[in-house]
Structure 1
């Protein structure tokens, strides 16, 4: 079992060593292109939704999404008309999702702005500040998003049974790790630190749950933060609970640094020469296996 005091010292050092190179290799970098918090919120919502698969392809496809939006994605979404943009984005594809899914996502964002003036205020309508973490809030938020009217995009029959649009909004109720939604919440909620944005101050960072991708799944196990094998909501909460012991007020502060050990530094559990330079090598069971 890793000594928690030693682990905290190592992870605090890892957090302090975050770099602009790591940020440039992350979908969050698109938010930093815009000075207006209202634009950053919209960009974060869209960028997080497509943050799955190979990072180079993610960044390339996000360029194609944001280029037509001009200098203010918020203004673009406020005036978004599905009929026109279905033509403008025709041919767009990101793995499972196509141009219809993108336009439905933009319609969801427009609807939230119309109903609550911001995505943050819309989320607050689902937020349970008394809960242990964001589990019930995220369940309500995703249910509300999927219940919106997407007729302008999909037609009167609603979201087709074979559509991957619901893939944007998985729910903890179904056991999903909800990686991309948890990542979006981290971007919005955590204090502005040069990486995360600190836009939603009414939501406590202590309530966040870590986004579990393949890197966090593997590194979390190697650091003894979880003993589960499946990347699901239970694993996400288990890793978060372990990190909460290191920083009760801000447990997911370590997420960006840990996942970029894989994304930017190349750690995939097989490249042993990298271990000697890795800042967590002394507490990583992968090193000794």
Structure 2
């Protein structure tokens, strides 16, 4: 394919998959249950955190978390003490267990009670040098500052050590991209869509390589940077919109 043919192909798939009809089978369906900004942020962050494995299992376990928070995540986290998190000791999603879950709730409580927020942390880091890597690093530094168990550290991606940070980049896409199609939320206004990085996973990586968009073999931060830079050739202002195209081609069309 020529460059123009490839762009047209990706644009076509983007329009197909960037649609609310696909939300029902996507972890994005969890934050879509809420209308309050803080509820959406917390629900989205927790759903994104466990977004690996079978999609029905992800949605079922994320729904369980919301149920255990009485479907009021912001109020539940900020108005309860650590002892009220004991019910989450039994939570398990693959390698994310009750120890990890309780720490995540504790860290979220401390962040929001201090008058800060997830948006504030990511934005502060981003504004240091205009990169989402700095936004993720700043968030990670603060989020892990409340003495977690060593095992919990692996559940917050570190791009400085090469992680693709797929789930965090997906969460950022949800929060930053506009809500014009009823898919992403567009809640955060101080991070431009042009700065977002691709939520790279096995599916999108394989499709990107087949299309000649990605040469690097590992799905790491260098691959994220390479692929995002390539996609900016097609849309400089919103490169991660092609996440829908690559993921849809891989998951739904087995491209």
For the aligned pair, the TM-score class normalised by the smaller chain equals over 0.9
Partner of 1:259: 247
Q: CA deviation at 1:141?
A: 1.9
Partner of 1:143: 141
Whichever structure has more helix as a proportion of its residues is 2
Q: Is the contact made by 1:128 and 1:134 (CA closer than 8 Å) also made in structure 2? A: no
Alignment equivalent of 2:220, drawn from 232, 243, 249: 232
SS in structure 1 at match of 2:89: coil
The answer to whether residue 26 in structure 2 is matched with residue 6 in structure 1 is no
The answer to whether residue 44 in structure 2 is matched with residue 44 in structure 1 is yes
Distance 1:48 1:248, change over 3 A: same
Q: Deviations over 1:39-91 (max 9, x none)?
A: 111111111111111212111111211112224211112123222212x1232
**Distance between the aligned counterparts of 1:100 and 1:92, measured in 2?**
9
Partner of 1:166: 153
Aligned Cα root-mean-square deviation (Å): 1.7
Which residues of structure 2 form unaligned runs of 5+?
A: none
**Distance between the aligned counterparts of 1:149 and 1:76, measured in 2?**
19
Q: Deviations over 1:175-232 (max 9, x none)?
A: 1101011111111111113111101111011111101111011011011111111000
Q: Is the contact made by 1:178 and 1:211 (CA closer than 8 Å) also made in structure 2? A: yes
**Distance between the aligned counterparts of 2:4 and 2:115, measured in 1?**
43
Q: CA deviation at 1:107?
A: 1.4
Larger Rg: 1
Q: Deviations over 1:121-171 (max 9, x none)?
A: 23222222643x31222222212222x224xxxxxxxx334x2x1122121
Which residues of structure 1 form unaligned runs of 5+?
A: 151-158, 270-289
Equivalenced residue count is 253
Q: Is the contact made by 1:22 and 1:260 (CA closer than 8 Å) also made in structure 2? A: no
Q: CA deviation at 1:118?
A: 2.5
Q: Which runs of 4+ in 1 moved over 3 A?
A: none
Q: Is the contact made by 2:128 and 2:134 (CA closer than 8 Å) also made in structure 1? A: no
SS in structure 2 at match of 1:125: helix
Partner of 1:56: 56
**Distance between the aligned counterparts of 1:113 and 1:237, measured in 2?**
31
Provide TM-score, normalisation by structure 2: 0.93
Q: Is the contact made by 2:13 and 2:248 (CA closer than 8 Å) also made in structure 1? A: no
Write out aligned runs for 1:1-289 (5 A).
2-18=1-17, 19-86=19-86, 88-128=87-127, 130-131=129-130, 133-146=131-144, 148-150=145-147, 159-161=148-150, 163=151, 165-192=152-179, 193-263=181-251, 265=252, 267=254
**Distance between the aligned counterparts of 2:108 and 2:70, measured in 1?**
17
Q: Is the contact made by 1:11 and 1:254 (CA closer than 8 Å) also made in structure 2? A: yes
SS in structure 2 at match of 1:228: coil
Q: Is the contact made by 1:80 and 1:107 (CA closer than 8 Å) also made in structure 2? A: no
SS in structure 2 at match of 1:23: helix
